[in-house]
Amino acid sequence: FLEIHIDAPLAAVEARDVKGLYAKARSGRLANFTGIDSPYEAPEAPDLRIDTAACSPEQAADLIMDLIRTTQGR
């Protein structure tokens, strides 16, 4: 079992929000939305943390594959 945390700053996530859910949450029309009015708790010690604002999907996939290769013998 490997824990991989796919992370992004809130501003980046809001910019990618094609459904407008963050805007609804900020306006109060959507309650209990994680990161807005409900807390978000990032994992304490993931095996890998990927910042999607800093790398491409291809780079993220490479990081995941590298992790799998290096941990196969565990």
Give the model confidence (pLDDT) of 41-74 as tens digits.
999 999 999 999 999 999 999 999 999 999 986 6
- pLDDT of residue 33 exceeding 70, the answer is yes
All structural domains of the chain: 4-71 (3.40.50.300)
Q: C-alpha angle 60/17/37, rounded to 5°?
A: 105
pLDDT of residue 72: 86
d(CA 55, CA 60): 6
